[in-house]
Structure 1
């Protein structure tokens, strides 16, 4: 169940930040998934950090079914691309929810707290790309409470 995460946000606008880990270049994407479709959030890139913003209305709609993975929810998916000359075959990401300057707490779907670094980013595992692979992909589903 590690693909299902719940962040304790409460109401109000917030940001989701994704930091690159490892050697691969990342292409993160976040969508708000509802029973009627999906809406991709705009990404702002700043070196090894990608930032997505949710406004008050979007957060309110995501809080409509708190703590569940039933739509509406967020789907974070990430593709990794490895250059031929990369010194290591590693990739991964670390994410955090933040309101203003305050990182928010999260947990796994079963209620176990997420291990967070002091800066509020998740403690993530750097993954290894298989020898013949140059591309990898993974995702998590995020609910708000």
Structure 2
């Protein structure tokens, strides 16, 4: 590691006290520990996801301001299994696989809506840029090659 004046150690082209990026964290300069083309691709993909979830405009507003939409999830016909079990006179209620699939779908949609509402409420955004770091890329390639060999 090269030694600079006054005994400071250099980290690549920066000293350890000299890294002060004050902007959008996804728009920071590409570092030497990242794959450049993958950074560009993942930042575009993150922008698309944030636009679809309406998280992009939350950066400009206060992070404590609640979002305007009240629902967050799409309207769907919901089957309530608890009410069905209470109202049934038979001891064993026959539920079809279609009813079970509808119940699981309703549960997953309500979880997705709650997650999106929480992201909007706290002003958070999706950032996939961490996947472009070289150690992560190597790990993904090793796992992928291991899975290909298994099949």
Q: Which has the higher contact order (CA 8 A, sep 6+)?
A: 1
Same fold (TM over 0.5): no
* TM-score when normalising by structure 2: 0.20
Structure of higher CA gyration radius: 2
* TM-score when normalising by structure 1: 0.20
User: Higher strand share goes to which structure?
Assistant: 1
User: Higher helix share goes to which structure?
Assistant: 2
